[in-house]
Amino acid sequence: MKDVLSRIGIGSARVDTVLPSSTVRAGDAVDAEVHVEGGSTDQDIDAIYFALETEYRTEEGYADAIVDKWQLTEPFTIGSGEERRFETTIDVPRRTPVTVGSVSVEIETGLDISMAVDPEDEDRIEVRPTERLQAVFDALENVGFSMKSSSCEARPGGIFSTSANFVQEFEFRPQRGEFSGEVDEVEIIPVYDGNGLTVHMEVDRRGGLLSEAMDIDERHTSFTVQDADPAAIEPSLTQAIRDLS
């Protein structure tokens, strides 16, 4: 009877992932410890798996997305009431969304058990931008912009060179400086390719209701970020906004 109940999740093994911190930087690695506690009966575990998950907005609503997924162990058996611990390192891809605005990211840990409900553990994490993307944020702030919002959106086919189903968009509003009163907002979309970071940028100009309705107040460009120095990014960023505004 215990075997039957464990197959539907009653008295089954449990899993819990312990992170040293709930804050990580995209592109970095973080050590973790996985605790597996046996249930009311012995169970064969095919694998421990991880999934880095988020969600993005589509025309129909929201869809779940797996940023990355990987396996930790080979098959093993967990005895009734037994406790086992596994140490591992979680690599957080550079393309992982930054958790600002409405964006959230979770690490899901699961036990793959054949012919049974898989026990799971979910841990929400705070993801900081890569150093290069943070430098772009800092450069925008230096010229008078502040972040207004961020969201993950379905990727229009063929526009961005990424295999993901979505991209993350960041919106900045001018608060001071030469672009205050001249630009509505600047939107950027970072795309990682190989070892590089390409930033796609759109500038919305103050063109009045007519130009907005005709969708002619938006201009686009893209540039590659070579290093993590805001001072090095600022001149070309400023000139690009000038050219598009």
Q: How does pLDDT run across 224-240, given as a tens digit for each residue?
A: 998 899 999 999 999 99
The label of the residue with tokens 């009653």 reads: 10
Alpha helical stretches, state H, 50-91 = none
**Going by C-beta distance under 8 Å and a sequence separation of 6 or more, which residues neighbour residue 48?**
15, 34, 36, 71, 72, 73, 86, 109, 110, 111, 112
The label of the residue with tokens 């209701």 reads: 209
Q: Residue 218 has what pLDDT?
A: 58
**Helix 230-244 crosses helix 131-142 at what angle (to 10 degrees)?**
60
| Model confidence at 5: pLDDT above 60 | no
* 3-state SS class at 125: strand
Provide φ and ψ at 139, rounded to 5°: -65, -40
Fold of 2-128: Immunoglobulin-like (2.60.40)
Report the predicted TM-score, pTM, of the whole model to 2 decimal places.
Answer: 0.84
Q: How does pLDDT run across 74-90, given as a tens digit for each residue?
A: 899 999 989 999 999 99
Q: How does pLDDT run across 48-61, given as a tens digit for each residue?
A: 999 999 999 988 88
| Sign of the CA dihedral running 17, 18, 24, 30 | negative
Q: How far apart are CA 149 and CA 54, in angstroms?
A: 17
Return the domain boundaries, the chain.
Answer: 2-128, 131-244
Q: Please indicate whether residue 96 or residue 72 has the higher confidence score (pLDDT).
A: 96
**Going by C-beta distance under 8 Å and a sequence separation of 6 or more, which residues neighbour residue 83?**
35, 36, 37, 38
